[in-house]
Structure 1
Amino acid sequence: MFADYTWTELGSIFAMQGFAGLILFSVFVLMALGLAIIFGQMGVINMAHGEFMILGAYVTYLCSNFFEAYLPALFGIYFFFAMALAFLAAGTLGALVEWSLIRHLYKRPLDTLLATWGLSLILQQAYRSIFGAREVGVTLPNWLLGSVPLTDIIEIPINGIFVMVLTFVIAIAVYFILFRSRMGMQTRAVVQNRVMAGAVGINTEKVDRNTFALGCGIAGIAGSAFTMIGSTGPTAGQLYIVDTFLIVVFGGAASLVGTIASSFAISQAQSTMEFFLSGSMAKVLTLLTVVGILMLRPQGLFSLKIRR
């Protein structure tokens, strides 16, 4: 596999695929952070998580068209408005779904899996009916076009750098929300002991709704970031849902550090192997490796000690 390349060529290949892996890592982290909050903190298997991501992508697409047609002077900063609207749209839909569906299915993980899978199909058909079956893309502002050359043969796309910076900012924000805010304290209290949390005056139903909405809102931001590097279609979210669940389980449910670490490991492994092997074979080898590690450490790379 490596015999046809010189050491210099291999170094350049690993560097280029490493940067490509960082961009994939950014999308994985944004997707997995929202799912880690929903699955890790609440125990809800949300198979419609990818569709919340695509909702954010379509909101960004609509904002792009609106600013381009009616506010061309502000087109250079439209993405920041789109990201905020994507968070609000996905978060609001998440709160509605939790109130109307999920709250009736707590402690019934198989039922939540089936219900959210049905919800994902409904949302896919809704997107197909509203936006059409074809994939759509956004128009990037001029400052997001082009690339930054590192060497004569290695260049980093500016939009990829922007997505990585955005991921870092969102990860820091999630850390402060979960570990340095009143909402995070209440969420962790409910996870550790729901009955005692309710006894001391915490509104556990409100915490559940806010937590689910936050996870879905972060998925909406992931959808906005996704438009920077790819096109959007009604079923695009399903391409990432399996990898996202794999990341959350591999990193350890409810572990923010584990989610980031497993996102990095899986994205780098897939990006590098896809250059030398087919994309499907790269996924198979990654999956087999993760399964083997989980057989030895079923709690994941990082696990939290929670009193039940």
Structure 2
Amino acid sequence: MFEGYSSSDLIAIFAMQGFAGLILFSVLVLMALGLAIIFGQMGVINMAHGEFMILGAYVTYLCSHFFANHIPALFSIYFFVAMILAFIAAGALGMMVEWLLIRHLYRRPLDTLLATWGLSLILQQTYRSVFGAREVGVTIPDWMMGSLPLTDLIEVPINGLFVMVLTFAIAVAVAILLMKSQWGKKVRAVTFNRPMAGAVGINTERVDRMTFGIGCGIAGVAGAAFTMIGSTGPSSGQLYIVDTFLVVVFGGAASLAGTIASAFSISQAQSLMEFFISGSMAKVLTLLTVVGILMLRPQGLFTLKIRN
């Protein structure tokens, strides 16, 4: 597999593919953070999670055009406004979906899977009707253009670095929210023991709705970040949903550390193997490896410690 490459070539290849893996890791983490919260607390298999990501991407696309056409002087900061609007739009849609659909299907995982899969098809067709079937892209601000040369052979794109910094900031914010805020304490209480949490006065229905909304809002932010590294289409979210579920299950449901660790290992493995073998074979080998590990450790890499 490595025949024909010099040692310097291999070092450059591993460095470049490792950085490409970090960009994929950033998207997977942002997608999986919200999904891990939803799946870990509520046991809901949200097959429409990718479409919430794409909603955030389309919001960013609209913001890009609005700032370019109406407020060009502030175009350099449009992404930060788009990120906030993407979170609000995806979060509001998520809360509405939870109230109209999901709350009637709790403790019925197969029903939630089928219902959210149908929702994903509806959202895809809605995006196709509103924005067209073609993929669209945003105009990246000038300060995100270009790359930083590390060596003569290795360069890293600035927009990729920005996405990684954004991912780190959001992961820290989610960790603080879960561990320090009142909402986070209620989420952990409901996750550990829903009947007891309700008995002590926690409104579990409100916690569920807020959790689903925040999880979908984080997916919207993932969509905003996705526009910095790729184009957006009505079905783009489906390209990441399987990998995202794989990250959540492999890392351990409701485990923030497990989500990050599994996203890093899966993204790096896929990125390196895709260079030397086909992309489909890289996914197959990654999936087989994860399945093999889960057979030995079905609870995932990390598990929450619960006092009985």
Question: How many Å apart are 1:307 and its aligned residue?
Answer: 5.4
CA distance in 1, matches of 2:197, 2:16: 49
Question: Is 1:281 paired with 2:270?
Answer: no
TM-score, with normalisation over the residues of structure 1?
0.99
Match of 2:98 in 1: 98
| 1:148 and 2:135 matched | no
Q: Distance in 2 between matches of 1:289 and 1:130?
A: 40
Q: How does 1:35-46 map to 2 (within 5 A)?
A: 35-46=35-46
Q: Which amino acid in the other structure matches residue 218 of structure 1?
A: I
- Aligned pairs for 1:1-20 (under 5 A) are 1-20=1-20
Once the two structures are superposed, residues 51-75 of structure 1 have per-residue CA deviations (whole angstroms, 9 ceiling, x without a partner) of 0000000000000000000000000
Partner residue in 1 for 2:86: 86
Q: Contact 1:193–1:307 at 8 Å: present in 2 too?
A: no
The alignment's C-alpha RMSD in Å is 0.8
- After TM superposition, give the deviation of residue 265 of structure 1 in Å: 0.2
* DSSP 3-state at the match of 1:156: strand
Is 2:196 the partner of 1:196? yes
**Shift in Å at residue 192 of structure 1?**
1.1
Corresponding residue number in structure 1 for 2:181: 181
Runs of 4+ off more than 4 Å: none
Give the letter aligned to residue 111 of structure 1. Answer: D
**How many residues are paired up?**
308
After superposition, the C-alpha distances for 1:135-181 in whole angstroms (9 at most, x for unaligned) are 00000100000000000010000000000000000000000111111
Aligned to 1:158: 158
SS at match of 1:148: strand
1:170 paired residue number: 170
Q: Do the aligned partners of residues 42 and 78 (structure 1) sit closer, same or farther apart at CA in structure 2, a change above 3 Å counting?
A: same
Aligned to 1:290: 290
Give the distance between the partners of 2:121 and 2:202, measured in 1 at CA.
35
Q: 1:242-277 CA distances to partner (integer Å, 9 max, x unpaired)?
A: 000000000011100000000000000000000000
CA distance in 1, matches of 2:286, 2:222: 23
Give the structure-2-normalised TM-score: 0.99
Q: Deviations over 1:259-300 (max 9, x none)?
A: 000000000000000000010010011001001000100100
Amino acid aligned to 2:76: G
1:114 maps to what in 2? 114
- Equivalences for 1:119-268 in 2 at 5 Å? 119-268=119-268
Q: Using the alignment, how far apart are the partners of 1:168 and 1:254 within structure 2?
A: 18
**Alpha-carbon deviation of 1:305?**
2.9
**Paired residue for 1:34?**
34
Structure 1 distance, partners of 2:4, 2:295, is 35
Contact 2:40 2:191 in 1 (8 A): no
Deviation for aligned residue 1:306: 3.2
Gaps of 5+ in 2: none
Q: Secondary structure at the match of 1:228?
A: coil
For 2:25 and 2:158, the matched residues in 1 are separated by 16
Distance 2:55 2:61 in 1: 10
SS in 2 for 1:229: coil
Look up the equivalent residue of 1:256 and give its one-letter code.
Answer: L
In structure 1, what is the Cα distance between the partners aligned to 2:31 and 2:59? 16
